[in-house]
Amino acid sequence: MGIFKNAIDSIVLGIEDYNSDDPRRILSSTRNLVAGILLLIKHRLAELSPSGSDEVLIKQRVLPVLDASDGVAWKGEGKKTVDVQQMKERSDSLGITVDWKRVEKIVKHRNDIEHYFSSLNHSALKGLLSDSFIIIRDFLRTELCLDPLVALGEETWSTLTEVSEIFIKEKAECLDNMESIEWEHPFLKEAITEWVCKKCGSFLIDVEEPHVEPESVTFKCRSCGEKYDYETGAEGAIKEYYVTENYIAAKEGGDPVTAECPNCFREAYHLSEDVCLICGESVERRCQRCYTSIPSCELDGSGYCSWCNHMMSKDD
């Protein structure tokens, strides 16, 4: 029961930190909540580990050993435990039901809170608590067959429930206002609805005035009041929405999803759609001289690849 107790203690401490009047405990709240959720998943993996395997399913290092009948068994080695990706792989393989999209979202949000957001308040944490509520509720009931109210205690469970209900209501209002805007492209709309405030990390980004043209939109964070004009906000949302895919592409040498638009110079040109999600302009993607595809890093609106531009400049 050690891992399970640590998981519950972390979640309870996270809610106590959230309810504290001390602003310094807000960061501690996010750390404890996310740690508690990851420990719950590790607890389930430990439960499924064979007896005598040193909880093999939660260990990073796994070694083959001979069992009593000279058959091969697997045993955990060392103190390092699985990371989030390994937890996901092993849970999926074993049929453990986890809302990994939400788990990865709160882990990323915790990391961003620790490194990027300059202003953080209780209101900004509503989204993280709401996602945590859903993960904890479903995992305790579905995988561990426990009543969340009993497992966490009335005070902790009530806070999670109340904050989640408030956030869902506020988020729905934001989305209704977003729906009133005729965005240039559906991918832009998707990115904006997932965007978080760059100042405080809140998921509650709204438009100051609904029913206006996109270029007249002013975005406003409901948690800290920070405002963003249309192009700044849209570019920020697009960069954030595709950050993982673009990072993987850069790391593995593939094409990114988005690039800088040669027309408006915003990082919003969607390469597979061949259109800028902000200004709506398209550029020639095939070189008009050699007819090869122009790499994303060479898009400048001229219609020529860098080699042909170089050769034509020599001709001049």
- Average pLDDT score over the chain: 91
Highest mean pLDDT: which of 90-99, 107-116, 242-251?
Answer: 90-99
pLDDT at residue 70, rounded to an integer: 67
Q: How many CA atoms lie within 13 A of 213 on its CB side?
A: 3
Q: Which whole-number Å values give the CA distances from 232 to 92, 200, 203, 228, 265, in the listed order? A: 39, 16, 17, 6, 11
Integer Cα distance of 304 and 316 in angstroms: 16
C-alpha dihedral sign at 245, 246, 248, 249: positive
pLDDT at residue 118, rounded to an integer: 76
pLDDT at residue 1, rounded to an integer: 60
Integer Cα distance of 193 and 219 in angstroms: 11
pLDDT at residue 316, rounded to an integer: 60
Q: Could you give the 3-state DSSP secondary structure of residue 142? A: helix
Per-residue pLDDT at 140 exceeds 90: yes
pLDDT at residue 276, rounded to an integer: 93
Min mean pLDDT across 154-158, 209-213, 303-307 is at: 303-307
pLDDT at residue 79, rounded to an integer: 85
